[in-house]
A and B are shown apart, each in its own frame.
Chain A
Amino acid sequence: MSDTSLRLGQTRPEPAAQPRDGAEIVLDVRDLRVSYYTPRGPVRAVNGVSFALRRGEAFGLVGESGSGKSTIALSLLQLIKPPGRIEGGQALLDGKDILSLSEEEMRRLRLAEIALITQGAMNSLNPVMRIRDQIVDAWKDHGEPVNGREAEDRIRDLLRWVGLRPEVARMYPHELSGGMKQRAVIAIAISMRPKVIIADEPTSALDVVVQRQIMQTLRRIQRDLGAAVILIGHDMGLMAQFVDRLGVMYAGKLVEVSPVRDIFKDPLHPYTQLLIASLPSLARKGQLQGIPGLPPSLLSPPPGCPFHPRCPFVMERCRVEVPPLELKRPNRLVACHLYERDEGQA
């Protein structure tokens, strides 16, 4: 790989969040930086984010609004619009940097290799087109003209795969319930058998019963396809139920990346600890503990660790030195000065 990521003005690049157990990496995001140029100054929405996605895994990106998680999704598909701009970094999909692709190359890559299911996905369906025509359109768009019997068979199989009746092919979006629309969106997203599916809050508009159905469908499809999924959201419960590994975002940075069980059992970063403690549970009644303070303004982020103004364990060093995301325990990356680097594995 070239060293184009080491450009001027960039601080020490954070180490790629490589899993050490030899699993194959399908998408390797390195030091991604995205800013929005607002009249009040640049907002560093994604500020040096690195993570590696293993083939077939479910990886979660959790964070509160403004933490940069959705911006990551949009950058990976080159959908950042001005005043936003990708300022640096790489995203290697099977070794090829997709951030440097031309618009035309990227258009061909979308759906075929990497697909996005967004928050408002249900409204992304064309209201005046039948579901079948929207699927066929996606195929045509990628130079896969399908006609006649074969097309109908493929559409029927695709719909069955996402749990929709064949009749849905002839229906318009308004004839479908919210859950059915989201299934149709998933059908289109997987119609080209992508390697990576990015699902950004795919169920936030749905009731909890339908949410479970949709997420279980997505998991089944993911396994059938062998695709990797990046699930983006704020719901820690959904993360606990769906992902294998979880990355926790705070103020444009990843502060912790760990196997999901480890994060819930033994969160290491103080933000993760407080976030988990703030979750209302069905087990204990009467505990409602928020995180004191507010996330920093990204227009003027604090020096040092972005969490230091709210951190109960803040030290002098935290106010001046940004903690890098490093391996602190086997398979666990944490950006916090509280922990020594895990040398055994490096």
Chain B
Amino acid sequence: MTTLLEARGVTKIYGGGLFRRDRTVALEDFSLRIEPEPPSITAIVGESGSGKTTLARLLLGMTMPTAGAILYQGKDLRTLSRREWRAFRRDVQAIFQDPYEVYNPFYRIDHVLHTPLKKFGLVKSEREAQQRIVEALQAVGLRPEETLGRYPHQLSGGQRQRVMVARALLVRPRLIIADEPVSMVDASLRATILDSLRALTRDFGVSLIYITHDLITAYQISDNIIVLYRGSVAEAGHAEPVVQEPQHPYTRLLIGSIPLPDPDRAWSEEQEPSEIGRLADASTGCTFANRCPYAMEMCLERHPPLYQTERYRVTACYLYRESPLLASEHLDEAFVRPGVAGPAVATSGAADDSTAGA
């Protein structure tokens, strides 16, 4: 079984060259494998500057890595033939935050929905095409009669975004890479759209990489979560323990900052960085040390490697240095594989639960 999509030791540096001070390491030594079976949902969570959008662009072949490679069915994206590239473009679909630039302003919305159906030969007749399009629009909460026949600028950002989800529903690719697909959508609809994405995995075997700043929705739909901080993995593994018992001080900060819709669970106060943390210079050592309440001497010297703290979790933090190391290229070995039949994944903290259905 060939891996569908893989990031192998990927680093992306912007700037550099003559003006080395401008060098920004957007992503550093990142590896991830998405297998064709079983279909899975992987969330990549981070704030601005975490590298999550760079990662999305790399995985989609929109930009090439400075080091390492992105592989589609085992082949470096840089070496794909025209035919293979076409297959890649069908198999791996994107949904972006505000997809305005995806649309050609001179074509009606219908165009962006018809094109993939025609291009990939997915329907037999115009009638079938129309029917599929209407169903897809309704599935994401759009009124077909108020959407079709209109131009991109006549829709709101949220509506355009839903059209892109509808488009992804139509193409039925093998993997969808969704970068903040619901951040501009109202709460009551957000649940509807996320549920339709999840249904895509459940009913049609489409895998999903869900890239977001929102840990709650990430937790709701994903099997595994990767928390990125300034271009590196801070913590990753089974969504349940990562969110319920976060280990990395950054993940703890992130979860503690979420305004929970419960007036009785008040926001906690943010902890100050430790004395040593205050001395930290972000260019060496742990990238989080200057904000970390637990920063120690060793944190200032070298960025921590990944420690496998549980069967289904890794944490890049010296607080867990007693745990065995996991090489970053084997990150997905700490992931739960969702059961093929149903959502049965290992429960919280189940360190020696065997992978279901594998």
B-contacting residues of A (Cβ < 8 Å)? Answer: 64-65, 207-209, 211-213, 215-216, 234-242, 260-261, 264, 274-276, 278-282, 285-291, 294
Q: Which B residues are in CB contact (< 8 Å) with A281?
A: 216, 260-261
29 contacts between A and B (CB under 8 A): A65-B156, A65-B158, A207-B47, A207-B48, A207-B213, A208-B213, A209-B257, A211-B257, A212-B257, A215-B259, A216-B267, A216-B269, A234-B186, A235-B187, A240-B259, A240-B261, A260-B263, A264-B261, A264-B263, A276-B261, A280-B194, A281-B261, A282-B219, A282-B243, A282-B244, A285-B240, A286-B343, A288-B191, A289-B191
Q: Does chain A have a CB within 8 A of B350? A: no
Cβ–Cβ contact A209 & B195, under 8 A: no
Give complex CA distance A211, B198 in Å. 29
Give complex CA distance A233, B243 in Å. 26
Shortest distance in angstroms between B218's beta carbon and chain A's nearest beta carbon?
9
> B266 — nearest CB in chain A belongs to which residue?
A241
Q: Which A residues are in CB contact (< 8 Å) with B188?
A: 64, 274-275, 278, 290-291
> B46 — nearest CB in chain A belongs to which residue?
A207
Q: Does chain A have a CB within 8 A of B262? A: yes
Per-residue contact bits, chain B 246-263, to A (CB 8 Å; 1 contact, 0 not): 000000011111111111
Give complex CA distance A242, B260 in Å. 11
Q: Which A residues are in CB contact (< 8 Å) with B190?
A: 278, 280, 290
How many B residues touch the partner, as a band? Answer: 35 or more
Cβ–Cβ contact B195 & A288, under 8 A: yes
Q: Which A residues are in CB contact (< 8 Å) with B264?
A: 261
Cβ–Cβ contact A288 & B258, under 8 A: no
The 9 closest A-B pairs by CB, nearest first: A290-B192, A237-B259, A64-B186, A291-B188, A207-B47, A290-B191, A288-B195, A241-B259, A212-B257
Q: Given contacts A285-B220, A290-B191, are A264 and B143 in contact (CB under 8 A)?
A: no
Q: Which B residues are in CB contact (< 8 Å) with A291?
A: 188-189, 192
Cβ–Cβ contact B141 & A294, under 8 A: yes
Give complex CA distance A167, B217 in Å. 39
Cβ–Cβ contact A209 & B216, under 8 A: no
Per-residue contact bits, chain B 191-202, to A (CB 8 Å; 1 contact, 0 not): 111110010000
Shortest distance in angstroms between A15's beta carbon and chain B's nearest beta carbon?
26
Within 8 A of A (CB), among B280-322: none
Give complex CA distance A238, B259 in Å. 5
> A246 — nearest CB in chain B belongs to which residue?
B263
Cβ–Cβ contact B260 & A285, under 8 A: no
Q: Which B residues are in CB contact (< 8 Å) with A216?
A: 267, 269
Give complex CA distance A153, B127 in Å. 73
Q: Given contacts A207-B213, A208-B254, A294-B143, are A282 and B187 in contact (CB under 8 A)?
A: no
Q: Using A241-B266, A279-B191, A289-B191 as known contacts, list a sample of 10 further A-B pairs with CB atoms less than 8 Å apart, ordered by residue number in A.
A: A207-B213, A237-B259, A241-B259, A280-B191, A280-B219, A280-B220, A288-B195, A290-B190, A290-B192, A290-B193
Cβ–Cβ contact B187 & A234, under 8 A: yes
Give complex CA distance A287, B262 in Å. 17
Cβ–Cβ contact B263 & A237, under 8 A: no
Q: Does chain A have a CB within 8 A of B221? A: yes
Shortest distance in angstroms between A294's beta carbon and chain B's nearest beta carbon?
6
- One of B141, B187, B215 near A275 (C-beta < 8 A): B187
- One of B156, B243, B253, B258 near A237 (C-beta < 8 A): B258
Give complex CA distance A208, B143 in Å. 33
Give complex CA distance A290, B343 in Å. 20
- One of B143, B195, B213, B216 near A290 (C-beta < 8 A): B195
Cβ–Cβ contact A278 & B261, under 8 A: no
Shortest distance in angstroms between A212's beta carbon and chain B's nearest beta carbon?
4
Give complex CA distance A280, B221 in Å. 10
